[in-house]
Amino acid sequence: MSEITRAALVTGASGGIGRAVAERLAADGTAVGVHYAGNAAAAREVVGAVQRAGGRAVAVRGDVADETAMSAAFDTVEEEFGRIDVVVNTAGVMVLGPVAEFDLDALDRMHRTNIRGTFVVARQAARRARAGGAVITFSTSITRLAAPGYAAYAASKGAVEAMTLVLARELRGRDITVNAVAPGPTATPLFLDGKDEETVARLAAQPPLERLGTPEDIAETVAFLAGPGRWVNGQVLFANGGIA
């Protein structure tokens, strides 16, 4: 078996954008830690897909907001592959509703995953990523679009952007890039859930490219930041087909 020269941990990799990212990085020859929170079968499916394509992968479990669980997940990836170069945090929760009626318990749950979870993962990444590596967080184009009903979600992702830009500067001299990807409307179960056909069609028509993004579109953006995009650092990269 060939020596591993690059390894990544992708959170939320059991489905949607996370799965596409894991498979895309593996296609570039990166060994991948496929993180999941609860769906072990889906994570095993991703691992199997990577392995069938000739790549290396291992499933790791944990609540991203639990520092002990995530430390163990990072340990597993390092033990399996001998290194961690790239950390991609796609794990997130989206709850929608107007500010006046928003459930505060839902707010707390979402912020625990999106803000604390991102911070916990970034904390481990800052300690473990190797020189030449990359840390990639996930924001959303909603921070620009400011659509009604998205205030709580956008606020959580605004926090992600802030910590991302600061971390890039804190890692000065380490040769590690830190960037956020901010997808626009993307055809994932998280996005499509609860939307009727008319709503989906309206959203798909908004970008000049006149379609929804796909998980693979976003994965290509991540692959660029994780690989050749070494001069892009401390940025929020909007991947939304020109919607904003």
**Chain segment 15-66, per-residue pLDDT in tens:** 899 999 999 999 999 999 999 999 999 999 999 999 999 999 999 999 999 9
- In the predicted model, what is the mean pLDDT of the chain? 95
pTM assigned to the model: 0.95
Percentage of the residues of the chain whose pLDDT score is greater than 70: 100
- Are 135 and 125 a contacting pair, CB within 8 Å? yes
37 vs 145: CA distance, rounded Å = 29
pLDDT value of position 3: 84
Q: Is the dihedral of CA 195, 199, 203, 205 positive or negative?
A: positive
Q: What is the mean pLDDT of residues 133-147?
A: 96
In CATH terms, the fold of domain 7-187+215-239 is Rossmann fold (3.40.50)
Q: Which amino acid is at 38?
A: G
136 vs 134: CA distance, rounded Å = 6
Residue with tokens 């919607």: 243
- Domain residue ranges of the chain, discontinuous segments joined by +: 7-187+215-239
56 vs 221: CA distance, rounded Å = 21
In 3D space, the residue among 186, 165, 145 whose CA is nearest the CA of residue 18 turns out to be: 186
pLDDT value of position 1: 61
133 vs 174: CA distance, rounded Å = 9
In this predicted structure, the answer to whether residue 196 has a pLDDT above a threshold of 90 is no
Q: Which of 41-50, 145-154, 186-195 shows the lowest mean pLDDT across its residues?
A: 186-195
HSE-CB at 152 with a 13 A cutoff on CA atoms is 23
In this predicted structure, the answer to whether residue 168 has a pLDDT above a threshold of 80 is yes
21 vs 91: CA distance, rounded Å = 12
pLDDT value of position 192: 79
Q: What is the mean pLDDT of residues 179-186?
A: 95
155 vs 24: CA distance, rounded Å = 29
In this predicted structure, the answer to whether residue 193 has a pLDDT above a threshold of 70 is yes
pLDDT value of position 226: 98
In this predicted structure, the answer to whether residue 101 has a pLDDT above a threshold of 90 is yes
Banded pLDDT at 203 (limits 50, 70, 90): confident
Banded pLDDT at 190 (limits 50, 70, 90): confident
Catalytic residues: 153
- Are 11 and 18 a contacting pair, CB within 8 Å? yes
pLDDT value of position 191: 78
Q: What is the mean pLDDT of residues 118-144?
A: 97
